[in-house]
């Protein structure tokens, strides 16, 4: 993260994630608290950011997963800050078991962080900011929730999807260009349509070309196991490669893996198009191979040491098969009743 000024006169601090759901959550929070400083951070960086949080009346954190290894220190620091500040922690990632739900924690696994941010801060928001929440929902694949479906009826969804897709593609293309993200977040907090924000259309177009080349590459390079389709070193967006691996491999789960020479590990991104809960499976299987993994049910990530990569793929493939059989048995049981 980059912090240009040690906080000036603003009374609110907003810390959010740099992906599209995070940018939209941050924009909604900034719309509710215009006199705020906004910074982008991550589950690994959040504790460092909070070192500089003293003196703010309000501290709002959006879309930052609570890391298993850091949660005790993180909760201790937030309780310390809560003596003098109002803390609002808005997130939709699973909470580590050892961290109990504090009263400043708004955690809901069933909706995206943008939807949750809108709902938590609704009293201070213009109703039209729902549109920004929908952009964030689409960005995180959480646009099938009851509220988002209802909110969508207020808009021409063709135009809204054009704006959302353009915004999301541009933000993905911008990668770690946090300066650009900040320049998007501010107009978004005023509900300016993405196509009117400088460079958004240009970046979206560049991103679309990269994605198209990637799609064609994955189409020819995809490999399949029984339940899993995967691509290694696709040299492009990891999550999109996982999606195209699943579709061209004709499997319910797609995986893209990239070798990291320095650490001698494979970093991977996974997508499920089925009922398979990737978060649960990865948390169980990855540690068996000296790695780690988790995330959401339908979108997750993992890191596995180089020497166990092949064995991990085979075991994970088997685990998906078992999971699917279990789901089938449950469904049949239901019908039988
Ligand atoms: Mn999110």
Give pLDDT, residue 334: 54
Please report the sign of the dihedral spanned by the C-alpha atoms of residue 110, residue 248, residue 203, residue 163. negative
Rounded Cα distance, 326 and 329, in Å: 5
Of the pLDDT bands very low, low, confident and very high (cuts 50, 70, 90), residue 336 is very low
Does pLDDT of 237 surpass 60?
A: yes
Rounded Cα distance, 69 and 190, in Å: 37
Does pLDDT of 3 surpass 70?
A: no
Does pLDDT of 335 surpass 80?
A: no
Which of 206, 140, 196 shows the shortest CA–CA distance to 173?
206
Give pLDDT, residue 98: 80
Q: Determine phi and psi for 258, rounding to 5 degrees.
A: -130, 130
CB of 39 closer than 8 Å to CB of 3: yes
Average pLDDT over residues 190-201: 98
Q: How many CA atoms lie within 13 A of 204 on its CB side?
A: 18
329 alpha carbon – ligand 1 mean position (Å): 32
333 alpha carbon – ligand 1 mean position (Å): 34
93 alpha carbon – ligand 1 mean position (Å): 8
Q: Which helix (H) or strand (E) covers residue 270, if one does?
A: strand 265-272
126-155 core/surface letters (b: 16 or more CB in 10 A; e: else): eeebbbbbbbbbbbbebbeeebbeebbeee
29 alpha carbon – ligand 1 mean position (Å): 14
153 alpha carbon – ligand 1 mean position (Å): 23
111 alpha carbon – ligand 1 mean position (Å): 9
Give pLDDT, residue 139: 95
Q: What percent of the chain has pLDDT over 90?
A: 85
Average pLDDT over residues 304-316: 97
Does pLDDT of 145 surpass 70?
A: yes
Does pLDDT of 79 surpass 50?
A: yes
119 alpha carbon – ligand 1 mean position (Å): 15
Q: What's the predicted TM-score (pTM) here?
A: 0.87
143 alpha carbon – ligand 1 mean position (Å): 12
24 alpha carbon – ligand 1 mean position (Å): 10
Higher pLDDT: 333 or 60? It is 60
Please report the sign of the dihedral spanned by the C-alpha atoms of residue 179, residue 185, residue 188, residue 190. negative
Of the pLDDT bands very low, low, confident and very high (cuts 50, 70, 90), residue 96 is confident
Does pLDDT of 4 surpass 50?
A: no
327 alpha carbon – ligand 1 mean position (Å): 26
Q: For the chain, what is the mean pLDDT?
A: 93
229 alpha carbon – ligand 1 mean position (Å): 25
Q: Determine phi and psi for 280, rounding to 5 degrees.
A: -65, -45
Question: Does residue 170 sit in helix, strand or coil?
Answer: helix
What is the widest separation between alpha-carbon atoms in the chain?
64
Q: Domains in the chain, start-ordered, CATH in brackets?
A: 12-203 (3.90.1640.30), 222-336 (3.10.310.40)
CA 155 to chain centre: 25
Strands of the sheet containing 58-62, edge to edge, are 36-40, 12-16, 58-62, 86-91, 105-107
């Amino acid at each position: 993260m980059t912090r240009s000024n040690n906080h000036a006169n603003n009374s609110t601090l907003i810390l959010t994630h740099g992906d599209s759901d995070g940018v939209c959550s941050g924009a909604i929070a900034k719309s509710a608290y215009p006199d705020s400083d906004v910074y982008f951070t991550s589950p690994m960086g959040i504790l460092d950011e909070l070192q500089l949080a003293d003196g703010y009346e309000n501290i709002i954190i959006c879309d930052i997963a609570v890391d298993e290894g850091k949660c005790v220190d993180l909760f201790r620091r937030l309780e310390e800050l809560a003596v003098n500040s109002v803390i609002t922690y808005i997130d939709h990632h699973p909470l580590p078991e050892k961290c109990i739900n504090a009263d400043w924690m708004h955690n809901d696994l069933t909706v995206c962080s943008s939807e949750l941010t809108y709902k938590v801060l609704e009293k201070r928001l213009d109703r039209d900011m729902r549109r920004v929440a929908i952009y964030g929902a689409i960005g995180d694949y959480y646009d099938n929730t009851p509220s988002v479906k209802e909110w969508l009826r207020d808009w021409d969804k063709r135009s809204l999807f054009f704006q959302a897709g353009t915004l999301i593609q541009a933000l993905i293309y911008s990668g770690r260009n946090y300066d650009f993200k900040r320049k998007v977040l501010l107009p978004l907090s005023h509900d300016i349509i993405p196509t009117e924000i400088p460079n958004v259309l240009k970046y979206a177009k560049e991103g679309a070309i990269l994605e198209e080349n990637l799609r064609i590459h994955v189409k020819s390079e995809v490999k399949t196991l029984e339940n899993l389709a995967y691509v290694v070193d696709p040299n492009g967006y990891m999550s999109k490669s996982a999606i195209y691996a699943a579709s061209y491999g004709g499997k319910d789960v797609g995986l893209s893996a990239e070798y990291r020479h320095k650490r001698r590990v494979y970093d991977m991104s996974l997508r499920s198009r089925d009922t398979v809960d990737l978060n649960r499976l990865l948390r169980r299987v990855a540690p068996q191979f000296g790695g780690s993994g988790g995330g959401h049910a339908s979108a997750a990530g993992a890191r596995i040491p180089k020497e166990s990569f092949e064995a991990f793929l085979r075991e994970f493939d088997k685990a998906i098969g078992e999971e699917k059989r279990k789901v089938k048995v449950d469904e049949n049981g239901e019908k039988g009743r």
